[in-house]
């Protein structure tokens, strides 16, 4: 047998090992192309996000805004009887505040509890208003009514805490009030109690506000 025929002839073990080596080498050769193909796509996505934020005129780190406190006051379930059975829907009453004098409440409805809470939270953020808070308490005592709900709020000394029900407490905590004595005298309807509390806090005025409305200035105490 000539030397050329010996080169062309291979043993059975060498012939069986050749395809396996080719298969094992194939993924290694494709791996760099796969990684190289994904890198530009992720870079392009980040560039698009930065461009979109610049078009909106904002900073990506500043889009989060101040930290807000979200409190779910009440979740209600409603059942509608149809031919095939009962269909359930949910409504959520949510209070949102920044613990620094801004608070709002919202109401959301959806077929799922999570969606209802999300809608209520979005509505509460849009309805946030500035209220009067003096030294983590209220400037004066106040009585408020909304529907059948009747609320009495009294300022308290530091260290008293919030002596109030769950619904009134949610609004006061979100607004940043820490020392108040509250009493609910009427209906316990969650929506009316929250609205009565909001109405009371929005109608409060300090001595400076009253003097400014009269066109006067606050007198300074004479030094002894």
Classify residue 35: in a domain, yes or no. no
Helix (H) or strand (E) run with residue 7 in it: helix 3-8
| Ranges of the chain with pLDDT below 50 | 1-8, 12-13, 15-17, 20, 22-40, 54-64, 222, 224
Q: Which domain holds residue 144?
A: 69-208
pLDDT at 44: 60
Classify residue 144: in a domain, yes or no. yes
pLDDT at 221: 57
In the chain, the DSSP E strands lie at: 69-82, 85-97, 102-110, 129-130, 142-146, 149-155, 162-163, 180-184
Classify residue 153: in a domain, yes or no. yes
Classify residue 126: in a domain, yes or no. yes
Domains: count for the chain: 1
- List pLDDT tens digits, range 95-122: 999 998 899 999 999 999 999 999 999 9
Classify residue 8: in a domain, yes or no. no
Classify residue 26: in a domain, yes or no. no
Q: Positive or negative CA dihedral for 98, 100, 102, 107?
A: positive
Query: CA-CA distances (angstroms) from residue 200 to 140, 150, 170, 186?
Result: 11, 10, 14, 15
Q: β-strand 102-110 against 142-146: which pairing, if any?
A: unpaired
Q: How far is the C-alpha of 142 from the C-alpha of 160, rounded, in Å?
A: 18
Classify residue 20: in a domain, yes or no. no
Classify residue 13: in a domain, yes or no. no
**DSSP for residue 60:** G
CATH code for position 182: 3.30.230.10
Determine the 3-state secondary structure of 143 from DSSP.
strand
């Amino acid at each position: 047998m000539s030397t050329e025929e010996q080169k062309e002839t291979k043993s059975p073990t060498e012939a069986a090992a050749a395809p396996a080596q080719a298969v094992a080498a194939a993924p290694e050769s494709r791996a760099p192309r796969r990684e190289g193909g994904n890198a530009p796509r992720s870079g392009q996505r980040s560039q698009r996000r930065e461009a979109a934020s610049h078009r909106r005129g904002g900073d990506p780190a500043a889009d989060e805004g101040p930290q807000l406190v979200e409190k779910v006051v009440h979740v209600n379930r409603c059942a509608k009887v149809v031919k095939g059975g009962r269909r359930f829907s949910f409504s959520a009453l949510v209070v949102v505040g920044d613990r620094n004098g801004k608070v709002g409440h919202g109401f959301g409805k959806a077929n799922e509890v999570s969606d209802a809470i999300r809608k209520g939270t979005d509505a509460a953020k849009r309805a946030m208003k500035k209220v009067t808070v003096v030294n983590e308490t209220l400037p004066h005592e106040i009585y408020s009514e909304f529907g059948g709900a009747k609320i009495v709020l009294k300022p308290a000394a530091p260290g008293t805490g919030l002596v109030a029900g769950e619904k009134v407490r949610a609004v006061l905590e979100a607004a940043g009030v820490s020392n108040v004595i509250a009493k609910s005298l009427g209906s316990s309807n969650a929506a009316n109690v929250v609205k009565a509390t909001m109405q009371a806090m929005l109608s409060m005025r300090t001595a400076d506000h009253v003097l400014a409305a009269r066109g006067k200035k606050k007198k300074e105490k004479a030094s002894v």
